[in-house]
Structure 1
Amino acid sequence: MTSHPAAEAFGATLTPGTRPTVLAVDLMRAYFDPASPLNLPDDGCLHSAARVLEAARAHDVPVVHTRVSYGPGGLDGGVFFRKVPALAQLVGDSPMGELMPEVAPRGDEVVVVKQYASAFFGTTLATTLHARGIDTVVVVGVSTSGCIRATVVDAIQHGFVPLVVEDAVGDRAPEPHWANLHDLRTKYAEVVDEPTAITYLEGTS
């Protein structure tokens, strides 16, 4: 049996397509309000995400948002809702579930409401993107080790090229953030910085 060095076994380069969308994952108040148990230690990713959205809008690249909301008592959250008690603050139209003003959706932008980590699981996201001819998903949002990772893995499984904007995603600690970006880069996505993402969006007009 022939062995292959890790450098050859993983990490081939995916070429982004010409029909991207920017997917803003769960940029809700729950992640940026110090009163929330989900609060992130640094809101830099929010401002980076806002700049990526601004570039997308300036060049007619569609933007899709996701947020989390549960029915009474989390009845549609299943085992996940039981595993993560902090999700209780996202029942109904809670203020913590509001999307941040810096990245607020415009009237012509889709907002996907989800109950689980992946933006694709149990939602119409994949069919919506396929119907629009989208081939590449530029991902911003939170959290890197949770909803970003789950969404990116599902994106590639649905046939989209995922680009994760490393400046525009965040987590509750640096260790899971960087470990998951490394693993996503190795197996599931291209990980790019904010200037590279914006240059790409500008070039798809």
Structure 2
Amino acid sequence: MTAAQTQQAHGLGNRDLLDQYLAAGFAGRVGWGERVALLVIDMAGAWTSQDEMIGANLDGVLRNVRRLLDVVRTRDDIPVVFTTMAYDETYSDLPFPSRLKTPHLERMIRGSERVRLVPGLDRRPHEALIEKPRASAFFNTNLPSILAAQRVDTVVVVGCSTSGCVRSTCESAIDHGLRAIVPAEAVGDRSASAHEAALFDINARYADVLSVEEVVGHIERLPRTAGAVTTDA
């Protein structure tokens, strides 16, 4: 391969890359299963306050997350699971390489405002809250057990950040044999370019990226499932 060919192969725009993916069988659709859960990723102070080291204005994302919560909460057969990241003040549960790569984690002390959910989410007592030690909501948490107990086969993933914890959670979802759906307007990132690139990759590799309107419409049409199990926090 010539230098020019190498540059072209490594410089595809998203449209050209999507065409290449589609020709190769990438970017298929996982679709919806029968039992759905809503995963709200890291909508807490450290990520949603612009005064924080890695914070950003996610007001629009929060409005769309609230819209989905309002729809889901009209039913008793769709569990809601929230996540945050939190560590002991001694850092005994925060490996040193993680502190070197992402030192903002040292500020995420268990019990602090930084790791508390945004009050506007109005978390209910039966909606689980998981402290995850890494980007994925599945890594070293009881999320797989929570979902398995309710026979969930589809997760709707919302929250932040698109390029980090949302993407990682979607990758883990498909690794666990689950369908993942991402409402585009209900996820956000501090970087617009990282957000767009991550959504492209998520849609091509791990999940179906849909509009909030499409997701709301599908949930409203879902037949109610008997035998729902309440999730305790």
Report the TM-score, using the length of structure 1 for normalisation: 0.94
**Equivalent residues of 1:47, 1:102 under 8 A apart:** no
Moved over 4 A (4+): none
Is 1:8 the counterpart of 2:23? The answer is: yes
Aligned partner of 2:108 in structure 1 is 90
Is 1:28 the counterpart of 2:38? The answer is: no
| Aligned residues: CA RMSD | 1.4
Choose the corresponding residue for 1:166, options 178, 184, 189.
184
1:122 and 1:40 map into 2 onto residues whose CA distance is 27
Q: What stretches of structure 2 of length at least 5 have no aligned partner?
A: 1-18, 225-233
Query: Larger Cα Rg: Structure 1 or Structure 2?
Result: 2
1:70 and 1:92 map into 2 onto residues whose CA distance is 5
* Residue type at the aligned position of 2:22: A
* Residue type at the aligned position of 2:84: R
1:65 and 1:42 map into 2 onto residues whose CA distance is 16
Q: What stretches of structure 1 of length at least 5 have no aligned partner?
A: none
**Equivalent residues of 1:77, 1:116 under 8 A apart:** no
Please report how far the alpha carbon of residue 5 of structure 1 lies from its aligned counterpart in structure 2 after TM superposition: 4.7
Superimposed CA distance per residue, residues 92-142 of structure 1 (whole angstroms, 9 cap, x where no aligned partner): 211111100121320111111111100000101012101110000000000
Please report how far the alpha carbon of residue 82 of structure 1 lies from its aligned counterpart in structure 2 after TM superposition: 2.9
% identical aligned pairs: 35
Please report how far the alpha carbon of residue 72 of structure 1 lies from its aligned counterpart in structure 2 after TM superposition: 2.2
1:167 and 1:129 map into 2 onto residues whose CA distance is 24
Choose the corresponding residue for 1:190, options 198, 208, 220.
208
1:50 and 1:96 map into 2 onto residues whose CA distance is 20
Is 1:102 the counterpart of 2:117? The answer is: no
Superimposed CA distance per residue, residues 5-62 of structure 1 (whole angstroms, 9 cap, x where no aligned partner): 5313211111211200000001001122222111114421111111111111113321
Is 1:67 the counterpart of 2:84? The answer is: yes
**Equivalent residues of 2:65, 2:158 under 8 A apart:** yes
Aligned partner of 1:51 in structure 2 is 67
Report the TM-score, using the length of structure 2 for normalisation: 0.83
Please report how far the alpha carbon of residue 75 of structure 1 lies from its aligned counterpart in structure 2 after TM superposition: 2.0
Aligned length: 202
Structure number with the higher strand fraction is 1
Aligned partner of 2:34 in structure 1 is 18
